[in-house]
Amino acid sequence: MTEKTIFEPYELGGISLSNRIVMAPLTRNRAGPGFVPGQLAADYYSQRASAGLIISEATQISQQGQGYQDTPGIYSQAQIDGWRKVTDAVHAAGGHIFVQLWHVGRISHVDLQPDARAPVAPSAIRAETKTFVNNGFVDVSEPRALELDEIPGIIADFRRAAANAIAAGFDGVEVHGANGYLLDQFAKDGANVRTDTYGGSIENRARLMLEVTAAVAEEIGADRTGIRISPVSPANGISSSDPQPQFDYIVEKLSERGIAFIHVVEGATAGPRDVAPFDFGALRAKFSNSYIANNGYDLALATSALSDDKADLFAFGRPFIANPDLVERLKTGAPLATLDPATLYGGGSAGYTDYPRIGG
């Protein structure tokens, strides 16, 4: 019997991936005027098209959904046109790309919001974290609680953004339900103290995440829909008193919906994998389609997890920044380049499209 390898092809929904390696979403803050991705973004993503699947940087569904400066949107025609150049470049290089759609909720600042209004959240609880705005890191602004009659509009914004993504040439959509952003805020009781149908019980706190995912799947097809979740990550000041039953329930319902994948941050985002007790194996067992494992994976850990059937695909984040040819480097054992932290957020081509390939 041939042992499975992360370099072998994989069928994800109706898409034939060239390998099991996923480029994770990476916020780089380089969108142009109007929050439009430009030629630099097309170059950046096409350089990394040897990944089996690219998941784009998080992309806001509306101006209200924006939380950081110079992040791209997908709610205007100019943004759709900008993303079309990116998807065309990735496809020309033989790759596949999903867009990650987000609404940041309370992780925002009044300087980014329409008419300098307060960011929105499930409850008026300020997150103890910072955001990147006006070329620096500052405390997030005090949010206001969404009114019940505003929630259908947010679901509609996700649906419209999913349709725009297909118009822009994306192969599918990943809903951002992780890392302390809006859908995660609703799911976790550290940020959600509502007493209506979107708060209180596990079922109520899961409602918005499930409704958004259902709307996206109805719009573009379940086989082109995935979601990212982070059950125990404390990212952006989020917390939960009941992560295992909460996310067991969410994943069971997502499985019933038949979406293509769940993309799971195992542990603290970009931090310890053992930050809190959680049975990710039990979570995987509740989902009938593909499981993308994320957080701290290298070749050895991914190979071991694949051998033990702990995941189907493996997402690599920061290693892709300084290694546009990461797949080749992993396959050949070539050393990995290290990224320059000073060029992570904002700027131009330096630290974005100028990392060399092997022998380059």
Reported as a single tens digit per residue, the pLDDT across 79-88 is 999 999 999 9
Nearest to 121 by CA among 27, 199, 173: 199
The yes-or-no verdict on residue 148 having pLDDT over 60 is yes
Structure-block tokens of residue 169:
């040439």
Distance (Å, whole) CA 30 – CA 20: 28
Q: What is the pLDDT of residue 1?
A: 42
Band the pLDDT of 69: cuts 50, 70, 90: very high
CATH number, domain with residue 139: 3.20.20.70
Model pTM greater than 0.95?
yes
* E-assigned strand segments in 271-340: 290-294, 313-316
Band the pLDDT of 219: cuts 50, 70, 90: very high
Residue 332 belongs to a domain: yes
136-146 per-position pLDDT tens digit: 999 999 999 99
The yes-or-no verdict on residue 274 having pLDDT over 70 is yes
Q: How far is CA 66 from the centre of its chain?
A: 14
The yes-or-no verdict on residue 56 having pLDDT over 50 is yes
Do 147 and 204 form a contact (C-beta atoms < 8 A)?
no
> Which residues form the catalytic set?
181
Do 140 and 127 form a contact (C-beta atoms < 8 A)?
yes
Domains of the chain: total? 1
Distance (Å, whole) CA 220 – CA 215: 9
Is the backbone of residue 115 left (phi > 0), alpha (psi -120 to 50) or beta? Answer: left
Helix, strand, or coil (residue 85): helix
| CA distance readout (Å), 105 to 50, 79, 111, 339 | 33, 21, 14, 29
Distance (Å, whole) CA 26 – CA 178: 13
Q: What percent of the chain has pLDDT over 70?
A: 99
The average confidence (pLDDT) of the chain is 97
Helix, strand, or coil (residue 103): coil
Do 250 and 242 form a contact (C-beta atoms < 8 A)?
no
The yes-or-no verdict on residue 360 having pLDDT over 70 is no
Rg (CA), the chain: 19
Residue 289 belongs to a domain: yes
Helix, strand, or coil (residue 254): helix
Helix, strand, or coil (residue 343): helix
The yes-or-no verdict on residue 237 having pLDDT over 90 is yes
User: Which residue type does 116 have?
Assistant: A
Residue 355 belongs to a domain: no
98-115 per-position pLDDT tens digit: 999 999 999 999 999 999
Residue 170 belongs to a domain: yes
Q: Please name the residues in contact with 175: beta carbons below 8 A apart, sequence gap of 6 or more.
A: 100, 101, 158, 183, 209, 212, 213, 216, 225, 226, 227, 228
The stretch 267-296 carries a mean pLDDT of 95
Distance (Å, whole) CA 243 – CA 184: 11
Residue 2 belongs to a domain: no
- Start-to-end C-alpha separation, the chain: 38
Residue 352 belongs to a domain: no
Q: How far is CA 107 from the centre of its chain?
A: 15
Residue 125 belongs to a domain: yes
Residue 56 belongs to a domain: yes
198: containing domain: 10-343
What is residue 269's DSSP assignment?
T
